[in-house]
């Protein structure tokens, strides 16, 4: 067997053992669902900030998005490496303090419980909890990305690798929870920092003639790689798609349960600034990793490997295996990078599994008196059963994406994730920046977003392509078989914001008249 493969086996086994050690350490302190959801330990705000940075940086940032940049060049770099990061980091700073302050006061364990408590509506809480199931698509993205990295590194079958990985990560998350995640996410973040620097620095050999030399080489491969837009791509056709849509999505993306609820782990208000400073600095580094997509395109000019086309999802794993394959030092660095790519996936999938299972247990099942009557131990056991069911569903969907992908698993994942945060973004804004608890505005905004997202993504393209009904400038984004979820999210959030504000000010006027 290849020495590189043997070394990879050893490193992955040691890494898995380290993760399990911290899972056991954190699990020993879990006594009820509150402990599982938000922990019962006092962690340093810097540790929680590292945990947030790791949770925000999924395998999409380290593995999938660079693949798009390898295919579409500077346009993708602007989209995923400039506009999206700026919007998401500003949004994180703006929303975190108020969200945490209200969540702590009301002892919220999940995003659904935060919204239900803020608007004093158990029905709305259930509505959001049910829609949280859309986040399973993001779990699928991570499973597919990490599976490709491990399968390539170990030269084994992808489906078997997927099965092993699902059993491992869902298995330990049955017993982990918030306590364990802060430990594991911190370790993962530290590894990812090293890997980010390695991946960004791995392109030094392409810069020996400066950026002009790099530009000349990229232009020789495909002149469109240097353009601010890539008209024939499915995601980067114009600046509206690259800048406006990505900034809207970036601002809303922090409204995912495993991201915005991370601040609830902080025990003191004074810790928030240190937490945010750590998260923003490290996250900025992680977002920069997407430039490795340009290095990968230089390494694979025709996007082929051994006579077979490299799909978007497989570019970076192939790049790592090729670049760090010869020489002891190179192989050692390659092993670190592989572990870093795996860490990027684990850090986010842990948060998703924890937040989604908590939502199902705490916000859906706990509505039943028979469940409320269960002991803390029984409730935790029920949560483990839910995680097991999630594992089965995630495996089935991930296997389908491995065997029958449509451009990239990112499209599948974005469709679920973008629709979810489109639905909750405006209600969170209203909950943070308005004093009254206007249920009508929040629920109306969510329903409008839900309807507009799926109408834009599915119905309008059908009406255009099958019946020739034009929607003006929107036709550009709907004529292809593959739709860009960012466009649907932008439309949904825009209409949701208009509806939410209209209903909010309408009620405010009514209250003012009543008081007079």
* Residue range 161-201, pLDDT digits in tens: 999 999 999 998 888 776 777 778 788 888 889 989 999 99
Please tell me the predicted confidence (pLDDT) of residue 470: 86
- Can you tell me the distance from the alpha carbon of 376 to that of 318, in angstroms, rounded to the nearest whole number? 46
Mean pLDDT to the nearest integer, 381-406: 91
How far apart are the C-alpha atoms of 471 and 356, rounded to whole Å?
Answer: 36
CB environment 474-485: b (16+ within 10 A), e (fewer) = eeebbeeeebbb
Picking from 78-82, 200-204, 356-360, 477-481, which range would have the lowest pLDDT averaged per residue? 477-481
3-state secondary structure of 308: strand
Torsion of CA 408, 409, 410, 412, to 10 degrees: 120
pLDDT band with cut points at 50, 70 and 90 for residue 61: confident
CATH topology of domain 3-515: Sodium/glucose cotransporter (1.20.1730)
Residue (of 342, 301, 337, 304) closest to 320 by Cα position: 337
Which two three-digit tokens encode residue 179? 């306590």
pLDDT score of 107: 61
Q: What is the mean pLDDT of residues 414-423?
A: 92
Please report the pLDDT score of residue 264 as a whole number: 76
CB 393 within 8 A of CB 136: yes
Mean pLDDT, the chain, rounded, equals: 87
pLDDT class of 40 with cuts at 50, 70, 90: low
Q: Which residues pair with 309 in a beta bridge?
A: 304
Residue range 433-466, pLDDT digits in tens: 887 778 999 999 999 999 999 999 999 998 988 8
Average pLDDT value for residue range 296-311: 88
Quickly list H helices, 79-230.
Answer: 84-105, 111-118, 122-131, 136-154, 158-173, 178-201, 210-221
Task: Look at 100 and 117; give whichever has higher pLDDT.
Answer: 117
Helix axis angle, 136-154 to 328-359, nearest 10°: 160
| Burial (CB count within 10 angstroms: exposed 0-12, middle 13-18, buried 19+), residue 269 | exposed
Residue 308, beta-bridge partner list = 305
Within 8 A by CB and 6+ apart from 354, the residues are 36, 37, 173, 176, 177, 178, 181, 258
Torsion of CA 53, 54, 56, 60, to 10 degrees: 140
Q: Are 87 and 421 in contact (CB under 8 A)?
A: no
In this prediction, residue 109 carries a pLDDT of 67
- Residue 404, SS3 per DSSP: coil
Q: Give the pLDDT confidence score for residue 352 in this predicted structure.
A: 87
pTM for this one?
A: 0.88
Of residues 496 and 334, more confidence is placed in 496
Predicted pLDDT at 5: 84
Residue 320: pLDDT above 90? no
Maximum CA pair distance of the chain? 83
Closest CA to 443 of 362, 392, 504, 391: 504
In percent, the amount of the chain with pLDDT more than 70 equals 95
Specify the range with the lowest mean pLDDT, choosing from 24-28, 149-153, 230-234, 341-345.
24-28
Query: pLDDT band for position 106 (50/70/90)?
Result: low
- Is the confidence at residue 366, as pLDDT, over 90? no
Q: Between 446 and 330, name the one with better pLDDT.
A: 446
Task: Check pLDDT > 70 for residue 98.
Answer: yes
């Amino acid at each position: 067997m290849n020495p590189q493969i043997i070394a990879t086996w050893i490193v992955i086994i040691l890494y898995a053992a380290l993760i399990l050690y911290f899972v056991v350490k954190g699990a020993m302190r879990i006594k009820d669902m509150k402990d599982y959801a938000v922990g019962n330990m006092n962690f340093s705000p810097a540790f929680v900030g590292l945990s947030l940075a790791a949770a925000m940086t999924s395998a999409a940032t380290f593995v999938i998005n660079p693949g798009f940049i390898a295919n579409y060049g500077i346009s993708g770099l602007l989209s995923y490496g400039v506009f999206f990061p700026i919007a998401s980091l500003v949004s994180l700073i703006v929303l975190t303090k108020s969200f945490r302050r209200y969540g702590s006061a009301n002892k919220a364990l999940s995003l659904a419980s935060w919204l239900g408590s803020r608007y004093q509506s158990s029905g709305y809480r259930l509505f959001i909890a049910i829609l949280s199931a859309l986040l399973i698509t993001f779990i699928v993205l991570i499973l597919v990305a990490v599976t490709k990295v491990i399968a390539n590194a170990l030269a084994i079958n992808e489906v078997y690798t997927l099965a092993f990985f699902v059993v491992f990560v869902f298995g330990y998350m049955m017993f982990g929870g918030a306590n364990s995640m802060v430990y594991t996410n911190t370790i993962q973040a530290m590894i990812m920092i090293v890997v980010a620097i390695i991946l960004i620095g791995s392109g030094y050999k392409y810069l020996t003639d400066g950026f002009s030399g790099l530009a000349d080489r990229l232009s020789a491969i495909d002149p469109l790689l240097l353009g601010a837009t890539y008209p024939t791509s499915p995601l980067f056709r114009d600046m509206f798609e690259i800048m406006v849509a990505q900034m809207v999505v970036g601002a809303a993306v922090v409204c995912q349960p495993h991201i915005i609820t991370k601040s609830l782990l902080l025990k003191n208000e004074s810790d928030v600034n240190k937490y945010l400073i750590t998260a923003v600095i490290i996250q900025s580094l992680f977002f920069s990793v997407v430039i490795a997509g340009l290095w990968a395109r230089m390494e694979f000019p025709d996007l082929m490997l051994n006579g077979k086309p490299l799909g978007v999802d497989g570019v970076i794993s192939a790049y790592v295996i090729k670049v760090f394959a010869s020489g002891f030092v190179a192989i050692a660095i390659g092993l670190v990078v592989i572990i870093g790519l795996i860490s990027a996936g684990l850090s986010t999938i842990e948060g998703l599994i924890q937040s989604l299972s908590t939502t199902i247990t705490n916000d859906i099942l706990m509505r039943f008196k028979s469940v409320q009557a269960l002991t803390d131990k029984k409730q935790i056991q029920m949560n483990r059963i839910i995680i097991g069911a999630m594992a089965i569903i995630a495996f089935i969907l991930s296997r389908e994406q491995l065997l029958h992908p449509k451009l990239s698993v990112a499209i599948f994942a974005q469709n679920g994730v973008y629709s979810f945060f489109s639905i909750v973004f405006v209600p969170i804004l209203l909950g943070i920046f308005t004093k009254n608890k206007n249920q009508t505005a929040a629920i109306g905004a969510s329903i409008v977003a839900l309807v507009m997202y799926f109408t834009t993504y599915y119905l309008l393209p059908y009406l255009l392509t099958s019946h020739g009904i034009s929607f003006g400038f929107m036709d550009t984004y709907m004529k292809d078989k593959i739709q860009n979820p960012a466009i649907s999210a932008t439309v949904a959030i825009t209409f949701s914001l208009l509806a939410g504000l209209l209903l909010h000010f309408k009620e405010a006027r009514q209250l003012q008249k009543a008081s007079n």
